[in-house]
Amino acid sequence: MLEIGVGTGRNLDRYPADVHVVGIDLSPAMLSLARARAQELGRDVDLQLGDAQALSFASESFDTVVVTLALCAVPDDHQAIREIARVLRPDGCLVWLEHVRSPFAPVRLVQRLLDPLLVRLEADHLLRDPIDHIKQGPFVIERLERSRLGYIERGVARRQSVGLA
Ligand SMILES: C[S@@+](CC[C@H](N)C(=O)[O-])C[C@H]1O[C@@H](n2cnc3c(N)ncnc32)[C@H](O)[C@@H]1O
């Protein structure tokens, strides 16, 4: 499986021991923290420098792609999702958890106010929702959950064996 934007490797202890994990991140500093965490956990994880918008892997080479709190930081999240679709095998799963644009107007208003600052200071986008792009295919959404205020979303989408969007 592939984790995109693996960061400091906070998800590494969640993966079953018999799964081969590849993690990519744009930041060498994050990767070195993830390497230290993998070592602490005694996990052999293939951690590589890489850009979610232009993955260096062959098409249809992973059964599962995981992304948590990273699509909000990738400059072109739509391109990242196209790349995820490309590297997933037919019937493979995209599993994601992101902070997203809330469907509730008062929460969204606060997000709208904070977004320019957060984008400028942290390159963190508050008004995105990966589902906008995932829905365009080639995925079938199997599970979708939101937090009570609607700004945390998690889901599972299965890649269909049709042409890429
Ligand atoms: C908020 S952190 C989340 C890290 C981890 N996924 C987690 O849940 O703890 C966002 C991560 O996305 C990475 N990132 C940002 N843009 C990226 C890109 N274009 N390609 C790969 N990783 C990227 C950042 O370097 C950072 O490690």
- Per-residue pLDDT for the chain (165 aa), expressed as one digit of tens each? 999 999 999 999 999 999 999 999 999 999 999 999 999 999 999 999 999 999 999 999 999 999 999 999 999 999 999 999 999 999 999 999 999 999 999 999 999 999 999 999 999 999 999 999 999 989 999 999 999 999 999 999 999 987 554
- Closest ligand 1 atom to Cα of 74: 16
The residues, any chain, with a CB within 8 Å of residue 124's CB and separated by 6 or more, are: 72, 73, 118
- Please give the full DSSP string across 38-74, using - where no structure is assigned: HHHHT---EEEE--TTS--SPTT-EEEEEEES-TTTS
Q: Which one of 27, 45, 65, 68 would you pick to mutate in the ligand 1 pocket, going by the greatest count of ligand atoms within 8 A of its CB? A: 27
Report if pTM > 0.75: yes
Name the CA radius of gyration of the chain, rounded: 16
| pLDDT value of residue 164 | 52
Ligand 1 center to 138 CA (angstroms): 24
The residues, any chain, with a CB within 8 Å of residue 132's CB and separated by 6 or more, are: 78
Place of tokens 């977004």: 115
CATH number of 2-159: 3.40.50.150
Cα–Cα nearest to 85, from 112, 108, 62: 62
| pLDDT value of residue 165 | 47
What are the structural domain ranges in the chain?
A: 2-159
Q: Which one of 22, 47, 67, 74 would you pick to mutate in the ligand 1 pocket, going by the greatest count of ligand atoms within 8 A of its CB? A: 74
